[in-house]
Amino acid sequence: MTPTPTPAAGPVENDTGGIGGHPRGLTTLFFAEMWERFSFYGMRAILTYFMVLAVAEGGLGYDDRKAAGIYGTYTMSGYLLSILGGFIADNFIGARRAVLIGGIVIASGHFTMALDSEITFFIGLALVAAGTGLLKPNISTMVGSLYSPADARRDAGFSLFYMGINLGAFISPLVCGYLAQGEGWRATLGRWGLDPRSSWHWGFAAAGVGMTLGLIVYVLQRGRLAHVGNVPPPEADGSRPWGRVGLVLLGSLALITAMWFSDAYKWIVYLLFGLQVALILFFAFRPSQESKRIAAILVFFFAAEIFWAIFEQTGSSIALFADRLTDNRIFGWGFPSSWWQSVNSVWVILLAPVFAWLWIRLGPKQPSSPVKFALGLLFVALSFAWMVPAAKLTAGGLISPLWLLVLFLLQTVGEMLLSPVGLSTMTKLAPPRLLGLVMGIWFLAAALGNKLAGVVAGEFKSTNAGELATFFWHQALAVGVCTLVLFALVPWVRKLMGGVH
Ligand code: GLN
């Protein structure tokens, strides 16, 4: 990629050559992120199945709990390393180059997983997590940089970007899932004289091909992004904050390690929760408005963490439910269980325009962000309450796919209320000098939520309908209580936000 080109002359408002009258750079970032998410979700769709599959059948032969734990640690690591990835871009290499390097690391990770061994599996996962940390936060920052702060197209630009994310997330489980699990493809491998049990590695490789396509788009169209994500200027004395990057790296690795150990030592999780509550109280009762806003950010953090802890079980407990307990046929035609991973994205693509319309329609009468967050929590709680009768029905055999279809609908409504709203609320509440950090904190909530999802999903029982119903009911109840608490806290949180809606 060209090193630090001169910024484009003239305001970016003049550039309307991209999709829907947006800057042309948005089209490039849209497709680059679409392919990155293609690789992320395609691989994720088959990860748990591969881990729990017997060794004789080509898998790793892990039990459900171990697989859910590894899955949670891996997804957590990608989001957690976003803090480091954002910091490196902000202080050393700039977002544009960080995205390029991140993409290359991700693709090498997927190709490493294409090799058939346990060690390459883990090296590949580590590479994908590291690359995601470098790419994900910085590609989002670049979207923001395409618009001047006053540009009215900004929010719509982010919505289009979210559609790109979900387009990739929709297509990839279909492709990677078919390659990994599809009977037709396995038969083809057999005809080629290859071992049909290696099909999983074709799925992982396909994820790498997707990321490579994203990189090609990104490099070919780099000219459109020449004015954003440049290498930041060094400090006045020419130095770079090497000491601090070491600190962020150590902090991130320490947190990942602590969370890894939380599989064996549950008290680490409780300690972390306690710490969060203490921090909220500490900031809320300090006199400055800035501290009070930080307390509000931490309340949102807490709610988001709980939300993702349910939502992100899609790749673990819900994936196992889809595989073992659901009748995966439409009109008599069977499909691979990994295709379920596409359903959330289909709902996003259908619902995002509805919500965009709703917010414009309601204008100033729309609910405040803490209310939207509480509603988001309510919908994920409802989604698991909905699974209680579904779980009971599994006693009589495979259940209708309609159950999971509605589960994903409820969860996606929750996502629409919390995820994009959270992103914009964070940017509004953050003190300007802490913007990058606050963004990192937002992704940290996703990181911890993903880990928690893995911990909770470890309790999944597919062999006993009664226990399975309890699994869903306990979680619905716990999140239901959090929802009530958040609703009760709304007036307080609004006060903490000090005028920000
Ligand atoms: N589904 C969205 C994505 O993949 C949001 C994920 C998140 O913030 N945890 O980008």
SS3 label, residue 219: helix
Place of tokens 């991140």: 102
CATH code, domain carrying 277: 1.20.1250.20
pLDDT of 479 higher than 50 = yes
Concatenated DSSP letters of 391-446:
HHHGGGS-B-THHHHHHHHHHHHHHHHHHHHHHHHHHHHS-GGGHHHHHHHHHHHH
Using an 8 Å Cβ cutoff, are 192 and 57 in contact? no
Q: How far apart are CA 26 and CA 161, in angstroms?
A: 8
pTM of this structure:
0.87
pLDDT of 11 higher than 70 = no
Closest-CA residue to 227 (of 486, 468, 2, 470)? 2
Mean pLDDT of 8-31: 76
pLDDT of 140 higher than 70 = yes
- Range of 12-21, 48-57, 66-75, 428-437 with top mean pLDDT: 48-57
Cα–Cα distances in angstroms (integers) from residue 431 to residues 12, 289, 438, 449, 493, in the given order: 25, 10, 9, 25, 17
Mean pLDDT of 13-36: 87
Residue 333 pairs in a beta bridge with 330
Using an 8 Å Cβ cutoff, are 210 and 171 in contact? no
User: What is the predicted pLDDT for the residue at 260?
Assistant: 82
pLDDT, tens only, 248-291: 899 999 988 888 888 778 888 888 889 999 999 999 999 998 89
Mean pLDDT of 219-247: 85
pLDDT of 19 higher than 60 = yes
- Atom number, ligand 1, closest to the C-alpha of residue 443: 8
SS3 label, residue 150: coil
Concatenated DSSP letters of 36-50:
HHHHHHHHHHHHHHH
Q: How far apart are CA 229 and CA 312, in angstroms?
A: 30
Residue 4 in any domain: the answer is: no
Residue 443 alpha carbon to ligand 1 centre in Å? 9
The domain of 391 spans 19-497
β-strands 329-330, 333-334 pairing: antiparallel
Q: How far apart are CA 408 and CA 386, in angstroms?
A: 11
Residue 337 alpha carbon to ligand 1 centre in Å? 22
Closest residue to atom 3 of ligand 1, CA basis: 165
Neighbours of 233 (CB within 10 A): 8
Q: Is any ligand 1 atom within 6 A of the Cβ of residue 439? A: no
Quickly list H helices, 221-261: 242-261
Residue 5 in any domain: the answer is: no
SS3 label, residue 453: helix
Mean pLDDT of the chain: 90
pLDDT, tens only, 380-438: 999 999 999 999 999 999 999 999 999 999 999 999 999 888 877 877 787 766 766 77
pLDDT-based confidence at 13, cuts 50/70/90? low
Closest residue to atom 10 of ligand 1, CA basis: 165
pLDDT-based confidence at 501, cuts 50/70/90? low
Residue 7 in any domain: the answer is: no
Q: SS in 3 state form for 16-32?
A: CCCHHHCCHHHHHHHHH
Task: State the greatest distance between any 2 C-alpha atoms of the chain, in Å, as a whole number.
Answer: 72
Place of tokens 């929590």: 377
SS3 label, residue 149: coil
Q: Is any ligand 1 atom within 6 A of the Cβ of residue 165? A: yes
The distance of Cα 185 from the centroid of its chain, to the nearest Å, equals 29
- Atom number, ligand 1, closest to the C-alpha of residue 308: 9
Mean pLDDT of 301-325: 95
Q: Is the dihedral of CA 405, 409, 410, 414 positive or negative?
A: positive
Closest residue to atom 7 of ligand 1, CA basis: 446
User: What is the predicted pLDDT for the residue at 1?
Assistant: 43
Residue 169 alpha carbon to ligand 1 centre in Å? 10
Mutation to probe ligand 1, out of 41, 163, 165 (largest number of atoms < 8 A from CB): 165
pLDDT of 50 higher than 90 = yes
Q: Is any ligand 1 atom within 6 A of the Cβ of residue 413? A: no
User: What is the predicted pLDDT for the residue at 10?
Assistant: 36
Which helix (H) or strand (E) segment holds residue 350: the answer is helix 343-362
Q: What percent of the chain has pLDDT over 70?
A: 96
Residue 232 in any domain: the answer is: yes
Q: How far apart are CA 395 and CA 264, in angstroms?
A: 31
Q: How far apart are CA 46 and CA 309, in angstroms?
A: 20
Residue 12 in any domain: the answer is: no
Neighbours of 115 (CB within 10 A): 14
Place of tokens 């550039």: 15
pLDDT of 8 higher than 50 = no
Q: How far apart are CA 406 and CA 392, in angstroms?
A: 16
Q: Which of 12-21, 112-121, 144-153 has the lowest mean pLDDT?
A: 12-21
pLDDT of 7 higher than 90 = no
Q: How far apart are CA 473 and CA 386, in angstroms?
A: 9
pLDDT, tens only, 432-463: 667 667 777 888 999 999 989 988 898 898 88
User: What is the predicted pLDDT for the residue at 474?
Assistant: 97
pLDDT-based confidence at 337, cuts 50/70/90? very high
pLDDT, tens only, 154-211: 777 888 888 899 999 999 999 999 999 999 999 999 999 999 999 999 999 999 999 9
Place of tokens 């900004």: 154
Residue 10 in any domain: the answer is: no
Residue 308 alpha carbon to ligand 1 centre in Å? 9
SS3 label, residue 334: strand
Give the number of domains in the chain. Answer: 1
